[in-house]
Amino acid sequence: MAHHVNSDNCVGCRMCVDACPSGALSSKFNGSILTIILNSELCTGCGSCVDICPFNALELVPREEVKEFKIEIDILRPEKIEKKKYYMIARKVVDVSYCTGCGACTVCPPNGIIWKDGVVDFPDWVKICRDCAICIKVCQRYNSVFKSGVGEVIEVKGARSKRFKGQDGAMVSEFIACALEMGIIDTALMVSRDERWKPIIVHVKHPDQLKSERITGTKYSLAPVLPELNKVIKRAGRLAIVGTPCIITGLRLLQKEIPLYNKVKLAVSLFCMENFRYSSLMEFLREKNIDATKVKKFDIKKGKFIVEMVDGVFDCPIKELEEHVSNGCNYCLDFAGVDSDVSIGSVGSPDGYSTVLIRSETAKNIYDYMISKGYIEECEANLKAVEKLCRFKAKKALRKEEEGV
C-alpha cells in the first residue's frame, strides 16, 4: 500500500505526524512554510495517518512499493488568515455561555484550545490557529445538535451489581468490568476525584480498580473526559468512556469526523439533569460551611441536593443551587444520553438499583454476559419515570431559552 496525497485539502495540522507509530512522518518549518515528509523505509502502511486526518488529505492506495512524498503548505496564506473558524466558535458558542463544556474542541491539532473547569479558552490563537475548522465540526452547540427524549432503546432493565459498591447499584462499574473481562475494551476512561472532590480522569484497565470509592459515585462537576481522550487516542487500544450526555454527543461528532475515534467501543452515559463547574460547587459548599474533604457522597433525589458527610447529612432544595449550574446546561435537552450504547441512572428503579437503557448490540451482549455470570440482581424498571424527566428537562431548557438565560 502507498499514500495518495491531496495537498489542496491539507491544512498543516500535523495530526498525521503525531499519529504515526513508526516515525515515518516528520515535519519542519521554514518561515510560514510547513513541510511534511514521509520516509518510505519507516512506513509500515498501517494507515494511522489516514484514519486521523479529518480533511481527507491522505489515503492509502494499492501500489507495489511505498514512495516518499513531501507536502509543502503555507499556513499563513491569505484565505487562512481571513476565515478564522475559531473566531466563530468563540463568538457563537463560548462567549455567549452556550458551551456545554464537553471539551470535544480540544482536539485542536496545534493545541490552541484548552479546557479548565468546564470552560474552554483560546490562548494565543491569532498566532497558532491554522483554520482547519475541526473545532466547529465537533461542536454540538455550533452545529445545533440537540437530542431529547428517551431515544432508541433495545431493552429496559433494572439491576444492581452483586460485586461492586457504588451509586445506585454500581451498574456503571459492572458494565466496565464486564467489557474488560470480555475483551471488548482494554481501557476505560472514567472520572475519579481527589480528596476535595475535584474530578480526575483515570485509566481503568482491570476490574479491581473499580473497587475504589473515588471512582464510584457521581461527582456532580464537569469533567475533562474528552480532553483526556484527545490526548490518548493516537496511541490507545480499545476504549470505553463514561460521561454525561453532552460528552457522549461530543464523542459521536469526533467519531463522525475522525475515524481514529472509532477506537471507542463502548460509550456509557449517565442520566443528567444538570451539572456544575467544580469551582462553583465548592463555592456553594463553603457558603454552607461544608468541608469538602469530609464529604462521602453527593446525590440528587426528589428535588433535593443531598450531601452525605462523615459527621452528618446536609440537604436542600435543588433550586438553591440554580446560580451554580453550568451555563451551558440551561439549554440542554438530553436527560437520558440518547447517543450512548447504554444509559444508566437511578430514575425509574427502587433505591439501590439502576435503570439501564440498552441501546446497542454491544451493550446487550455485555448485559447478557453479566446475567450469565450471576454478577447482578434484577428488578422492574419504570421507563415512564425516565420519560417524565426527559420531558421536564426539555421543557425547562426551552423555557430558559425563551427567557434569554
Q: What would the pLDDT profile of 73-132 be if each residue is shown by its tens digit? A: 665 544 444 445 667 788 888 888 889 999 999 999 888 899 998 888 888 777 778 778
Residue 147 lies in a domain: no
Tell me what pLDDT residue 291 has.
Answer: 96
Instruction: Compute CA distances 182 → 157, 185, 341, 369, 398, whole Å.
Output: 21, 8, 16, 8, 42
Dist CA 395 CA 375 (whole Å): 38
Overall number of domains in the chain: 3
Decide: helix, strand or coil at residue 345.
strand
355 and 260 within one domain: yes
Residue 146 lies in a domain: no
Phi, psi of 189 (to 5 degrees): -90, 115
In a domain? residue 224: yes
What are the cell numbers at 342? 447504554
Structural domain harbouring 25? 2-74
Q: Which residues contact 368 (CB under 8 A, 6 or more apart)?
A: none
Helix 245-257, helix 225-232: angle, nearest 10:
30
pLDDT at site 65:
56
89 in a domain, yes or no?
Answer: yes
Sequence-distant (≥ 6) Cβ neighbours of residue 348 within 8 angstroms: 158, 355, 381, 382, 383, 384, 385, 386
Longest Cα–Cα distance in the chain: 72
Last residue of a domain, one of 74, 104, 119: 74
Domain presence at residue 44:
yes
Whether residues 6 and 70 fall in one domain: yes
Render pLDDT for 177-188 as a digit per residue (tens, 0 to 9): 999 999 999 999
Q: DSSP string of 101-136?
A: ---GGGG-TT---EEETTEEE-TTHHHH-----HHH
Q: How confident is the model at residue 200 (pLDDT cuts 50, 70, 90)?
A: very high
383 falls within a domain? yes
CA distances (Å), origin 68, targets 3, 230, 264: 9, 29, 32
Higher pLDDT, 121 or 375: 375
Whether 303 contacts 231, CB under 8 Å: no
Q: Is residue 379 part of a domain?
A: yes
Residues 110 and 85 in one domain: yes
Question: Contact, 149 vs 336, CB < 8 A?
Answer: yes
- Give 328-349 pLDDT, tens digit per residue: 999 999 999 999 999 999 999 9
Q: Round to whole Å and give the CA distance between 131 and 79.
A: 9
**H-helix segments, 183-244:** 225-232
